[in-house]
């Protein structure tokens, strides 16, 4: 395959260390944002997209591991990663530049086994403890949505999973597809039918990297039509998941 001609100076901007450093967050949640640790490295939609992007640049790829998207955001100005794939919101747009959206997910809540909560109205009451992954778009959305229940941030998906399973929190805010998968692992839990926000996931680069932004924008625009994005979904347990871009 003939490599595309890259803009002069792009490699120095997008990969100053000589490798394309892709920020990923590790969790068993799966989906279009989370990646997982495997016996040989990492797997996930961002892992596959980062590998394909590095190959197009003719560079090796390096994965920079975080516990959640909030940590990736906090590191955006520290020069520790070159590209990321993560949920986008207004707060994050002040810290990084986003390219095309490649996933739209419905955010809702799962309630603990034995809970009497059946909808948002019965969830949003004083004394109800709702967990969310700390400093994420979903956590900010839940804080805006719930007027009476307490939203508490935790660092990892695993921690919240165990708290919910043991009944130590009343609910967990996350995307519906991930919560549906979680419900299969926690008998008696229930995913609420309503949706409180739509979470959009997109490619991102640190601020002040115009050539990098132009490159990743073209890469993701092409990936939606040339099969790269579809293969990334299919390779990571999302064969039946349609690609939603808006």
Q: SS3 letters for 71-135?
A: HHHHCCCCCCCCEEEEEECHHHHCCEEEEEEEEEEEEEEEECCCCCCCCHHHHCCCCCEEEEECC
Q: What is the pLDDT of residue 166?
A: 97
What is the spatial distance between Cα 200 and Cα 103, in angstroms, rounded to a whole number?
Answer: 6
How confident is the model over 19-48, as pLDDT tens digits? 999 999 998 877 899 999 999 999 999 999
Residue 246 has pLDDT above 90, yes or no: no
- State pLDDT tens for residues 95-117: 999 999 999 999 999 999 999 99
Q: Are 79 and 69 in contact (CB under 8 A)?
A: no
3-state secondary structure of 16: coil
Q: What is the pLDDT of residue 6?
A: 62
pTM of the model: 0.85
For residues 191 and 113, the answer to whether their CB atoms sit within 8 Å is no
Please return the burial class of 9, using the count of CB atoms within 10 Å of its CB with bins 0-12, 13-18 and 19+. Answer: exposed
User: Is pLDDT at 146 greater than 80 in this prediction?
Assistant: yes
pLDDT digits (tens, 9 = 90+) for 123-136: 999 999 999 999 89
What is the CA 246 to chain-centroid distance, rounded? 16
């Amino acid at each position: 395959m003939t490599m595309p001609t890259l803009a002069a100076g792009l490699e120095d901007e997008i990969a100053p260390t000589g490798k394309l450093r892709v920020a990923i967050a590790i969790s068993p949640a799966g989906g279009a944002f989370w990646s997982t640790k495997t016996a040989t490295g990492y797997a996930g939609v961002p892992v596959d997209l980062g590998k394909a992007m590095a190959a197009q640049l003719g560079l090796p790829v390096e994965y920079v591991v975080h516990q959640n998207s909030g940590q990736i955001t906090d590191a955006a100005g520290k020069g520790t990663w070159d590209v990321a794939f993560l949920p986008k919101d207004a707060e994050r747009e002040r810290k990084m530049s986003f390219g095309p959206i490649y996933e739209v997910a419905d955010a809702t809540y799962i309630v603990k086994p034995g809970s009497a909560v059946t909808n948002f109205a019965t969830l949003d009451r004083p004394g109800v403890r709702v967990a969310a992954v700390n400093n994420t778009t979903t956590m900010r959305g839940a804080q805006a949505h719930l007027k009476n229940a307490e939203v508490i941030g935790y660092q990892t998906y695993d921690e919240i999973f165990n708290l919910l399973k043991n009944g130590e929190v009343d609910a967990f805010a996350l995307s519906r597809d991930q919560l549906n998968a979680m419900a299969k692992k926690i008998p008696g839990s229930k995913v609420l039918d309503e949706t409180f926000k739509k979470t959009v996931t997109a490619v991102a680069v640190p601020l002040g990297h115009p050539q990098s932004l132009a490159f990743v924008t073209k890469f993701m625009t092409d990936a939606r039509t040339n099969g790269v994005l579809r293969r990334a979904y299919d390779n990571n347990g999302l064969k039946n998941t349609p690609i939603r871009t808006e």
